[in-house]
Amino acid sequence: MTIPVLTIDGPSGAGKGTVSRLLAKQLGWHYLDSGSIYRSLAIAALKESVDLSDVNAIVAVAKAMHLGFECGDELVVKLNGENITAQLGLEQTGNAASIIAVLPEVRAVLLQKQQDFKQLPGLVADGRDMGTVVFPDAPFKVYLTASSEKRAERRYKQLKEKGIDANLTRLTSEIEERDRRDMERTTAPLSMASGALFIDSSELAIDAVIQQILKLIQ
Ligand code: C5P
């Protein structure tokens, strides 16, 4: 029996996480937050004081790490049994993740971990290369983006709501730097998969985005 997969790729802050989680819930499908795998590896590497450009050391950490995902109202991630959820969303974690994500050897080790999420009754997979590399045969593909200003604004609001101090100008330049790194790397760069539905969420509410994607599936 074929297992349906919906891939949602796009740059940071486009709303992929929120949209993917809601869709997975609505469809009753599994959810893969592939960014959290790269983020968890970055946390593991930083904990072990590994140099982020030391390929062999990062690969060794990737092979040894054990990740547990508990999908309740919020995603809880355990790294070798330790709850690392609070560290996952930090800007420094996302930036470190994008530095190690350029390494092809690291991506190769993480590939199977991601493909293992494909299980019945279906999967919503969120990331940068879900439709191009990890699930190229997926029947439903979406590329979700928004302007860098809008993405930085949203991130700024989220951080403020959590009581975390943030600087909009710095957030915008960090987002642009991360986009550049994710789009210009040689292996599995962020790009729109062929046949993907393109959605610009700059001026769209979450619900409108979800309706467009549900139409694609139905
Ligand atoms: O989506 P998120 O912000 O959690 O991803 C963190 C970083 O992990 C991204 O900036 C990107 O460099 C990397 N990543 C990736 N491929 C994916 C998901 C995330 O390279 N499929």
**What is residue 113's predicted lDDT score, i.e. its pLDDT?**
93
**The domain that contains 24 carries what CATH number?**
3.40.50.300
Q: Is the CB of 128 under 6 A from ligand 1?
A: yes
Nearest alpha carbon, ligand 1 atom 16 = 128
Residues forming a β-bridge with 125 = 7, 32
Q: Which residues of 27-66 are buried (b: 16+ CB within 10 A; e: fewer)?
A: bebbbbbbbbbbbbbbbbbeeeebebeeeeebbebbeebe
Cα of 2 vs centre of ligand 1, distance in Å, is: 27
Q: Is the CB of 13 under 6 A from ligand 1?
A: no
**What is residue 131's predicted lDDT score, i.e. its pLDDT?**
98
CA–CA distance, 160 with 112 (Å, rounded to integer): 36
Cα of 1 vs centre of ligand 1, distance in Å, is: 30
Q: What is the pTM of this model?
A: 0.94
Q: What single DSSP character describes residue 54?
A: -
Where in the sequence is the domain holding 40, given as residue range(s)? 5-217
Q: Is the CB of 15 under 6 A from ligand 1?
A: no
Return the closest-CA partner of residue 147 out of 208, 185, 209, 203. 203
Cα of 191 vs centre of ligand 1, distance in Å, is: 13
Q: Is the CB of 127 under 6 A from ligand 1?
A: yes
Cα of 102 vs centre of ligand 1, distance in Å, is: 10
Cα of 96 vs centre of ligand 1, distance in Å, is: 10
Residues of the chain short of pLDDT 70, as ranges, are none
Radius of gyration of the chain (CA): 17
| Cβ contacts of 13 within 8 Å, gap of 6 or more | 146, 151, 152, 154, 155, 175
**What is residue 165's predicted lDDT score, i.e. its pLDDT?**
87
Domain count along the chain: 1
Nearest alpha carbon, ligand 1 atom 10 = 98
